[in-house]
Structure formats: structure tokens, C-alpha cells
Amino acid sequence: MTCGEVGTLLDAFVDTELPSATLLEVARHAGHCAPCERAVQDLLAVREAVVADVDRATEGMDFSGVWSRVEAAIDRSEGQARWRQRSDAKRGRLPRSIPVWGSIAAIAAGAALYVRPIGQVATTNPTPSAVRVASKRLPNHVYIDRLAGKDIALRREAKSGTTIIWVNHEVEGSGW
């Protein structure tokens, strides 16, 4: 594998989205090629910085009041529609249908109002119970910085991040 080929695969390599055989080829190349190794390290650093930023941002969000506000917005919207129906009935007009888009807009407005940093919520609710929705680092996630060996296959489970490095494994025969 050449540096050029590795260059086109680096993003997918860092995100472990490549098939295990290709992943291994890139890792082997990077193990012997200083510029590619540097590129991998740089990308890993960027990736970690982004993950850390996203984690920090989402940890500061409070979703605890979203659904109660959404329900309140729906109630309010339905209440207004009922009032209009009664009012129309009194005046002898045909009742207007409840606008679906109005409910959707009310839901969106409710969600937008309450998906915001805890600091702002604290002014209206002194003890907000933050619900953490950020996806944390997988419990068994492994960063492989260098890998050397013969007849190696690499596999990672997406759910837990568990990684296995196989030796002497028949890649073709086992369907890996």
C-alpha cells in the first residue's frame, strides 16, 4: 500500500470504518511510514478534540423539562382550537379543523425553548435535574497506535467497542 492510497483511507481508518483487512494494511503501513503515522496521529488528535467538545457541549444541556413543556404547548394549542370551535359554534360558523402544522410548530417551539444550557435554566428552575444524553466513550474502546505481526486480523464490535487482534487466523476461510 502506498502513501497516496493510505491518504485516501485515513479518515475511514481513524473512524475504524474500513474492512478489517484494509484496516490492518493501513496500520502496517503507518507503522513503518513516519509521515503517514504523523497524519494518523494528527487525525486522531482532531477526532478526540471534536469528541471531547461534543461531550462537553451535550453534558451542559438540560432535557429534563422538554416533554412537560411540549405537552403544555400541545394542551395550549388544543385549548385554543377548542375555544375557537365553541366560539364558531356560537356564531353559527362551520368549525375550523385543528391545524396540524400549528401543533408541530408548538412542539418545536417548546423543544427549542428548553434545549439550552443549564446555566440559563437555573434562572427559572434553581435545581434542574439534568438528563445526560451524550454518548460517552465506549467502555471497551481501544486506540491502536501501532500494530505489528504476521497473519493478523483485527475486529471491533460497534456496540461496546471491544477490539480483538487475531493471530494466525484464516481471514478468507472465516469470512472476516
- Structure-block grid coordinates of residue 143: 486506540
| Residue that the C-alpha cell 446555566 belongs to | 119
Q: Which residue has the cell 375550523?
A: 96
Q: Tell me whether residue 50 or residue 104 sits nearer to other proteins (CB atom).
A: 50
Q: Does 165 bind other proteins (CB under 8 A)?
A: yes
d(CA 154, CA 142): 12
Among 22, 33, 103, 166, binds other proteins (CB under 8 A): 166
Of 73, 82, 56, nearest to 112 by C-alpha is 73
Taken as a whole, the chain contains a residue count of 176
Q: Based on CB atoms, which residue is closest to other proteins, 8 or 174?
A: 174
Binding mask 134-163 for other proteins (x = CB under 8 A): ---xxxxxxxxxxxxxx-x--x-x-xxxxx
Count of residues in contact with other proteins, rule CB under 8 A: 30
CB of 32 to other proteins, least distance (A): 13
115 scored as a contact of other proteins (CB under 8 A): no
Residue 121 CA to residue 62 CA, distance in Å, equals 8
Q: Which H or E element spans position 82?
A: helix 66-91
Nearer to other proteins, 94 or 148 (CB): 148
Which positions lie near other proteins, rule CB under 8 A?
137-150, 152, 155, 157, 159-170, 174
